[in-house]
C-alpha cells in the first residue's frame, strides 16, 4: 500500500496545506513537501515624484498671454493690461519659472513642457522624494518595490542554493529604464506613480548598499493520477510561483536536480508511490461506481416492496398493488436517490436533464459525432447558453490524441464552438482530454448521469442495445463526481492559460477564462489577470461574470467584483480596450441592478465613482450613481427581454425632479 502521509517526507508546518491540496484535487497526491530559504537582494532607493495641480486664474492668463499674444508681453505690460500691481504678476511668473513652465527670460515665454501642462489645465508642483526598497527576486527574475524593508531575520531552513544553482545576476535597479521603473512601481501598488492622477515618478537614485534578505519557499512534489504525471511546484505561502516551478521542472528533466537530495525521494520510492496511488485512485473510482450500482438496486428493491408486499396473509388484488401514498415510489426524478435507466429511458432522461440546467453542464463522452450533434441539439445548447448556462465537453479515449481512431469531426467541433453567449463569448467549450472510458453528465452539481451510454456519439437509432445509465441525485455523490471531472477541466484551463501567457496572445486567453467561469472559478481568472498585469483581458472577464450573473452563478456581492473595480486606477483612459471595458462595466452594473439595485449602488463608492467618471464609463449627462445605475438597468433589461415585455425597472423607476 502507498505510504501514509505521516511516512512521506512532508514538513510538519506544510501538513495542513498538503491536506488542502489533496482534498481540493482528489486526483492529486503529494509525495513530498519541504521548506527552504533563498536569498533576495534588497536596495534602498530614493524616487523623485512630480505632481500636478490645476492652475489658478492669474497663472492661466499669464500662460495664455505667452502663447497667444504676438509679440509676447513683458511682466509689466501684462500687469498694465490686467490692471494689477506688477508685484503680483512678477511673483506668479517666478513661480511658473521655478516649475519650468515659463522660461527665465523676458518677455513671457512658455516652455514646451509648459505647453503640455497648459493643454491639461494644470501645472507641476515642486518635486519631492520618497525612499522605498527595491527587492530583486532571483527565482521570479523580477523586481518589486515596497515601502518598508524586509525583516532582518535569519530563517532556520535549508538554503535552496545548496541543492541547485540559482542565478543571482540581475540588472542593477539603478540601470532600469525609467519607463520600466515606473511600470514596476505602479504594479507594486504603492500609489507613487499614478499618471492619470498627475502623479509621476521622474527619477530614482540608490541611497544605500544592496543587502541580502531571506525568504521562505515551499517545494511540493505532486503526482496527478489523471495525467499520470509527476510535477514540481514552488509556492510562496499558498501562491504558486508559475515561472519558478517551470524552471525547476526543466532542471529536474535535465538531471540537474536531485529529488533524493531535495526531498529524500528516490526513484524507487516515486515508482512505488505512483503505482500505489494509481491503484488506490482507480479503486476509489470503481468503489464510487459500485456504490452507485448498489444504491440503484436498493432503490429498485424498495419500489418493488411497495408495489408487491411480501405479506402472504392476503392474496394481492389490483387494489393492493396501488402504492401507499405515505410511501411514494422512487422515480427517475426523485431527489436523493440513485435510479437505473435502460435503453429508451436514457435518451429521454438525457434531454430532460439538459433542459433542467440553470448554471452549468459538464459532459465527458469518449466520442462525439454528428448523429447526436445535429441542428436540434445545437439549438437546445444555444437556448441553454442564452439563459446563462455554461457547457464543458471533454472527449477522448486514447492516451495520446494522435492515436484517437475516432476523433471529433472538425465540422462538428466548429458547430459546437459557435454556440456563444449574447456577448459573444464561447460559452460552450469542447476539447480533448483523453485516456478515459468514463461517460458522465453532471448538471448544476445536483444531477449525475453515468453508465454505458455514449452521450454524444450513439449511432442515431433508438433500438434497445442493453445499455444502462444511473441517475444520481444524492448530493455528496454528485459532488464527488463533479470534483473528479472539474479537476480535469481545470488542469486543461491551466495549460491553456500558460500557453496564452507564453505567447502573450489575448485570444488564446479567452478559453481558459471561460472554463474557469463555467467551474465557478471566475476569481481564479481575475487573479491571474492581476498577477500578470494583463488588464487588456478585463473586458473578457467582465463578460464571463455577466454570463454568471444571468444564471445567478455569480453573486451580486462577489468579492471579485470589488477587486476588479480596484484595478480601474491602473487603466489609462486611452487604453486600446477602453471602449469594451466601458461597455462591460455598464452591462455588469445593469445586470447586478436588475437583481439587487442596492448591491449595485454599494459597489459605487467615491473612489470607484471617480474612476468611472475619469474613464468615461459614466456619460457626461449623468451626475450621480443612482441615475447611472438606473440607466444601466434599463439598458440591460431591454437587451435581454422580448421587445413587447415592459421591463419591471421602468414600472418602478421614479422620475428625477432635476430633469
Summarised one tens digit per residue, pLDDT across range 284-306 is 666 666 666 666 666 555 554 54
Q: What is the pLDDT of residue 1?
A: 34
Helix (H, G, I), strand (E, B) or coil at 633: helix
Q: Which of 74-78, 268-272, 540-544, 610-614 has the lowest mean pLDDT?
A: 268-272
Closest CA to 298 of 335, 342, 339, 346: 339
Cα(441)–Cα(454) distance, integer angstroms = 11
Give the percent of the chain with pLDDT over 90. 38
CB 430 within 8 A of CB 395: yes
pLDDT band, very low/low/confident/very high, at 283 (cuts 50, 70, 90): low
β-strand partners of 133: 44, 146
Supply the mean pLDDT for the chain.
83
Cα(537)–Cα(577) distance, integer angstroms = 9
Q: Which residues of 217-226 are buried (b: 16+ CB within 10 A; e: fewer)?
A: bbbbbbbbbb
Cα(23)–Cα(5) distance, integer angstroms = 13
Instruction: Spell out the long-range contacts of 128-131 with Cβ–Cβ below 8 A and sequence spacing 24 or more.
Output: 128/48, 128/49, 129/46, 129/47, 129/48, 129/49, 130/46, 130/47, 130/49, 130/192, 131/44, 131/45, 131/46, 131/47, 131/207
142-146 vs 128-137, strand pairing mode: antiparallel
Give the percent of the chain with pLDDT over 70. 84
pLDDT tens-digit readout, 84-119: 898 989 999 998 888 888 898 889 998 887 887 787
Cα(337)–Cα(474) distance, integer angstroms = 6
Q: Which of 22-26, 137-141, 247-251, 411-415 has the lowest mean pLDDT?
A: 22-26
Q: What is the pLDDT of residue 280?
A: 62
Q: Which of 153-162, 167-176, 194-203, 487-496 has the lowest mean pLDDT?
A: 167-176
pLDDT band, very low/low/confident/very high, at 489 (cuts 50, 70, 90): very high
> What is the mean predicted confidence (pLDDT) over 18-28?
78
Q: What is the pLDDT of residue 322?
A: 34
Per-residue DSSP letter, 545: H
Q: What is the pLDDT of residue 285?
A: 60
Q: What is the pLDDT of residue 339?
A: 84
pLDDT band, very low/low/confident/very high, at 187 (cuts 50, 70, 90): confident
The residue that leads in pLDDT, 316 or 91, is 91
pLDDT at 395 exceeding the cut of 60: yes
pLDDT at 312 exceeding the cut of 50: no
Amino acid at each position: 500500500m502507498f505510504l501514509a502521509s505521516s511516512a512521506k517526507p512532508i514538513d510538519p508546518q506544510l501538513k495542513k496545506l498538503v491536506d488542502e491540496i489533496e482534498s481540493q484535487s482528489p486526483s492529486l497526491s503529494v509525495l513530498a513537501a519541504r521548506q527552504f530559504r533563498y536569498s533576495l537582494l534588497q536596495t534602498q532607493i530614493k524616487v523623485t515624484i512630480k505632481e500636478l495641480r490645476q492652475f489658478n486664474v492669474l497663472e492661466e492668463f499669464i500662460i495664455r498671454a505667452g502663447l497667444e499674444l504676438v509679440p509676447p508681453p513683458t511682466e509689466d505690460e501684462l500687469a498694465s493690461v490686467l490692471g494689477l500691481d506688477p508685484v503680483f504678476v512678477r511673483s506668479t511668473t517666478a513661480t511658473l519659472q521655478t516649475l519650468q513652465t515659463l522660461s527665465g527670460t523676458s518677455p513671457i515665454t512658455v516652455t514646451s513642457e509648459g505647453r503640455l501642462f497648459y493643454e491639461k489645465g494644470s501645472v507641476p508642483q515642486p518635486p519631492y522624494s520618497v525612499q522605498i526598497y527595491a527587492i530583486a527576486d532571483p527565482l521570479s527574475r523580477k523586481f518589486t518595490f515596497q515601502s518598508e524593508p524586509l525583516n532582518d531575520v535569519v530563517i532556520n531552513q535549508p538554503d535552496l542554493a545548496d541543492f541547485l544553482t540559482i542565478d543571482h545576476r540581475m540588472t542593477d535597479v539603478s540601470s532600469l529604464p525609467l519607463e520600466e521603473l515606473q511600470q514596476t512601481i505602479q504594479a507594486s501598488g504603492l500609489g507613487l506613480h499614478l499618471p492619470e492622477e498627475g502623479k509621476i515618478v521622474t527619477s530614482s537614485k540608490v541611497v544605500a548598499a544592496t543587502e541580502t534578505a531571506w525568504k521562505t519557499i515551499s517545494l511540493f512534489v505532486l503526482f496527478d493520477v489523471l495525467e499520470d504525471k509527476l510535477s514540481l511546484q514552488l509556492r510562496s505561502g499558498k501562491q504558486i510561483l508559475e515561472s519558478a516551478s517551470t524552471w525547476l521542472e526543466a532542471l529536474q528533466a535535465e538531471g540537474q536536480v536531485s529529488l533524493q537530495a531535495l526531498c529524500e525521494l528516490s526513484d524507487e520510492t516515486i515508482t512505488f508511490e505512483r503505482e500505489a496511488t494509481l491503484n488506490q485512485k482507480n479503486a476509489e473510482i470503481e468503489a464510487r461506481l459500485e456504490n452507485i450500482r448498489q444504491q440503484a438496486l436498493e432503490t429498485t428493491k424498495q419500489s418493488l416492496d411497495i408495489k408487491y408486499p411480501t405479506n402472504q396473509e392476503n392474496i394481492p388484488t389490483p387494489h393492493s398493488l396501488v402504492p401507499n401514498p405515505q410511501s411514494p415510489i422512487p422515480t427517475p426524478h426523485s431527489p436523493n436517490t440513485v435510479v437505473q435507466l435502460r435503453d429508451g429511458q436514457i435518451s429521454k432522461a438525457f434531454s430532460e436533464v439538459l433542459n433542467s440546467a440553470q448554471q452549468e453542464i459538464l459532459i465527458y463522452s469518449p466520442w462525439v459525432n454528428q448523429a447526436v450533434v445535429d441542428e436540434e441539439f445545437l439549438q437546445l445548447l444555444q437556448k441553454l447558453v442564452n439563459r446563462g448556462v455554461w457547457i464543458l465537453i471533454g472527449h477522448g479515449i486514447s492516451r495520446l490524441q494522435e492515436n484517437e481512431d475516432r476523433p471529433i469531426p472538425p465540422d462538428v467541433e466548429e458547430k459546437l464552438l459557435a454556440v456563444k453567449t449574447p456577448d459573444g463569448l464561447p460559452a460552450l467549450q469542447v476539447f480533448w482530454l483523453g485516456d478515459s472510458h468514463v461517460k458522465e453528465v453532471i448538471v448544476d452539481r445536483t444531477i449525475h448521469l453515468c453508465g454505458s451510454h455514449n452521450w454524444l456519439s450513439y449511432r442515431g437509432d433508438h433500438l434497445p442495445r442493453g445499455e444502462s445509465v444511473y441517475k444520481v441525485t444524492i448530493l455528496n455523490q454528485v459532488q464527488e463526481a463533479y470534483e473528479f471531472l472539474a479537476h480535469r477541466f481545470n488542469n486543461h484551463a491551466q495549460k491553456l492559460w500558460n500557453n496564452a501567457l507564453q505567447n502573450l496572445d489575448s485570444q488564446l486567453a479567452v478559453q481558459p477564462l471561460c472554463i474557469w467561469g463555467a467551474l465557478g472559478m471566475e476569481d481564479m481568472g481575475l487573479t491571474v489577470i492581476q498577477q500578470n498585469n494583463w488588464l487588456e483581458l478585463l473586458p473578457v472577464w467582465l463578460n464571463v461574470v455577466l454570463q454568471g450573473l444571468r444564471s445567478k452563478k455569480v453573486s451580486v456581492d462577489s468579492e471579485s467584483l470589488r477587486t476588479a473595480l480596484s484595478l480601474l486606477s491602473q487603466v489609462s483612459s486611452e487604453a486600446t480596450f477602453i471602449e469594451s471595458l466601458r461597455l462591460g462595466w455598464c452591462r455588469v452594473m445593469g445586470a447586478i441592478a436588475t437583481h439587487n439595485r442596492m448591491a449595485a449602488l454599494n459597489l459605487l463608492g467615491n473612489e470607484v465613482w471617480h474612476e468611472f467618471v475619469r474613464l468615461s464609463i459614466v456619460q457626461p449627462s449623468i451626475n450621480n450613481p443612482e441615475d447611472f445605475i438606473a440607466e444601466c438597468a434599463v439598458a440591460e433589461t431591454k437587451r435581454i427581454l422580448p421587445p413587447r415585455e415592459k421591463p419591471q425597472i421602468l414600472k418602478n423607476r421614479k422620475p428625477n425632479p432635476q430633469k
